[in-house]
């Protein structure tokens, strides 16, 4: 197949990890007979430096015409001034909104060989397999009014947590559908004992559930869910929640697996265009050193193949290679302090392992 993939390396370690993922995609193209056309564009701090805008028009239009977008990370101390008019993160929020990517999928799986690297006891985390669905274009991040007011007596700031029923509807439907391909359990997370928006969330979720009676549904309050992720993580299958709760809980859950550097994500909407990115940030402290873990981005490329291009075998080939090299002991510095591999070494190890896999079925 022929597909156009927009690469947005962004800031910090973004360019280093996106480079490795691109090499993996090149290998997939060669082995399976696909043609991937890559176009690289600016986002975040790099885009602010070059154009004054965190999501320049050229990036916007290339992304909306692409089949899929692969992003590294945005942000860094250089652009951190809280008074700055433009911030790198705005680029990320704007592209999610622009492409109408309302569902952020964040799988958290603990590789058996890494269970001991978790901050929790290995027996608590071995076997954890959770799929988070974070609502991505609503809630506090986008609600209106949103403003800051510096009055004569005091300063005041307002953010608004708003959800319309259709926004809840579509993400919860997706959660039930995905649960059907897994262990058929959905945990919906809210703060219905306090928030009006959460009470609506719970009500709509129950209504949608009537169409998926083969899937078990439970509701959990966000504070209790945060605790249960540490005490009973294995009980979760699909977790669906609003934007900000999802932001916080997915970082917490990613830590279970020993390193944030391993975790991929997919942001999807109604059409096939998706945005794929590791869940780690730009890690400015290690940027340019060649030691970042490329696995989160490489696994994001696998999700890209699966969800935007429908290339399931190809996605699995990448995931299998990553699993195998981790089993074999390959580690970057975030995973182990003993003889860690560089970003490039980790990338080539994964590609070598893929090249050793049985000959790929050629796509027609």
Active site residues: 141, 191, 223, 247, 251
C-beta of 92 vs 262, nearer to ligand IPM: 92
Number of residues that bind ligand IPM (CB under 6 A): 4
> Do the Cβ atoms of 104 and 267 come closer than 8 Å?
yes
Interaction between residue 242 and Mg ion (CB under 5 A): no
Q: Cα separation of 144 and 233, whole Å?
A: 35
Least Å from the CB of residue 174 to ligand IPM: 18
Q: Give the interface segment with ligand IPM, choosing from 58-66, 88-96, 335-343, 350-358 (CB under 6 A).
A: 88-96
Q: Which residue, 247 or 314, is less far from Mg ion as judged by CB?
A: 247
Residue number closest to ligand IPM, CB atom: 89
DSSP characters for 195-263? -HHHHHHHHHHHHHHTT-TTSEEEEEEHHHHHHHHHH-GGG-SEEEE-HHHHHHHHHHHHHHTS-GGG-
Q: Give the H/E segment covering residue 10.
A: strand 2-10
Neighbouring CB atoms inside 10 A of 116's CB total: 11
Is-contact 212 185, C-beta < 8 A? no
Task: Say which residue the tokens 């890209």 belong to.
Answer: 304
11, 237, 247, 319: residue in contact with Mg ion (rule CB under 5 A)? 247
CB of 75 to ligand IPM, least distance (A): 6
Rounded CA separation 309/333 (Å): 32
CB nearer to ligand IPM: give 31 or 267: 267
Binding range to Mg ion, per CB under 5 A, among 88-96, 241-249, 270-278, 283-291? 241-249
Interface residue with ligand IPM among 4, 40, 58, 89 (CB under 6 A) is 89
Task: Give the 3-state secondary structure of residue 72.
Answer: strand
Q: Answer with the entry of Mg ion, ligand IPM, none that 89 interacts with (C-beta below 5 to 8 A by kind).
A: ligand IPM
Our finding on whether 53 is near Mg ion (CB under 5 A) is no
Token pair recorded at residue 161: 């947590």
Can you tell me which of 16, 135, 190, 247 binds ligand IPM, judged by CB under 6 A? Answer: 247
Choose the one of Mg ion, ligand IPM, none that binds residue 92, judging by a C-beta under 5 to 8 angstroms depending on kind.
ligand IPM
Stretch that binds ligand IPM, among 86-94, 113-121, 199-207, 299-307 (CB under 6 A): 86-94
For 209, the token pair is 């559930």
Question: Which secondary-structure segment (H or E) carries 48?
Answer: helix 44-51
Query: Contact, 17 vs 347, CB < 8 A?
Result: no
Q: Which stretch binds Mg ion (CB under 5 A): 108-116, 207-215, 242-250, 334-342?
A: 242-250
| 92 touches ligand IPM by CB under 6 A | yes
In the beta sheet, which residues pair with residue 209? none
- What residues make contact with Mg ion under the rule CB under 5 A? 247
Q: Would you tell me which residues interact with ligand IPM (CB under 6 A)?
A: 89, 92-93, 247
């Amino acid at each position: 197949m022929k597909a156009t993939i927009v690469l947005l390396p962004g800031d910090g370690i973004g360019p280093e990890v996106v480079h490795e993922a691109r090499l993996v995609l090149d290998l997939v193209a060669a082995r399976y007979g696909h043609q991937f056309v890559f176009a690289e564009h600016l986002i975040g701090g790099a885009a602010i430096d070059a154009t004054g805008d965190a999501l320049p028009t050229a990036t916007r239009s290339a992304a909306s015409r692409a089949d899929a977008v692969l992003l590294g990370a945005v942000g860094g101390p250089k652009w951190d001034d809280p008074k700055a008019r433009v911030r790198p993160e705005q680029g990320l929020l704007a592209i999610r909104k622009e492409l109408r990517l309302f569902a952020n999928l964040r799988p958290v799986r603990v590789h058996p060989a890494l269970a001991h690297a978790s901050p929790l006891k290995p027996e608590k985390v071995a076997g954890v397999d959770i799929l988070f669905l974070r609502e991505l274009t609503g809630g506090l991040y986008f609600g209106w009014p949103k403003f800051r007011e510096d009055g004569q007596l005091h300063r005041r700031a307002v953010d608004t947590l708003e959800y319309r029923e259709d926004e809840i509807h579509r993400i919860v439907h997706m959660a039930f559908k995905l649960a059907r391909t897994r262990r058929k359990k959905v945990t919906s997370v809210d703060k219905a004992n306090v928030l009006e928006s959460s009470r609506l969330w719970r009500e709509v979720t129950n209504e949608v559930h009537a169409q998926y009676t083969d899937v078990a549904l439970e509701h959990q309050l966000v504070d209790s869910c945060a605790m249960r992720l540490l005490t009973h993580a294995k009980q979760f299958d699909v977790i669906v929640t609003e934007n900000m709760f999802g932001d916080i809980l997915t970082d917490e859950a990613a830590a279970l697996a020993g390193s944030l550097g391993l975790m991929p994500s997919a942001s999807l909407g109604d059409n096939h265009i998706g945005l794929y990115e590791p869940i780690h940030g730009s890690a400015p402290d290690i940027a340019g050193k060649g030691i970042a873990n490329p696995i989160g981005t490489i696994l994001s490329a696998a999700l890209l193949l699966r969800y935007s291009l429908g290339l399931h075998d190809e996605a699995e080939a990448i995931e299998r290679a990553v699993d195998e090299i981790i089993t074999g002991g390959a580690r970057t510095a975030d995973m182990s302090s003993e003889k860690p591999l560089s970003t490039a070494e980790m990338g080539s190890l994964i590609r070598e392992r893929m090249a050793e896999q049985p000959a790929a079925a050629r796509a027609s």
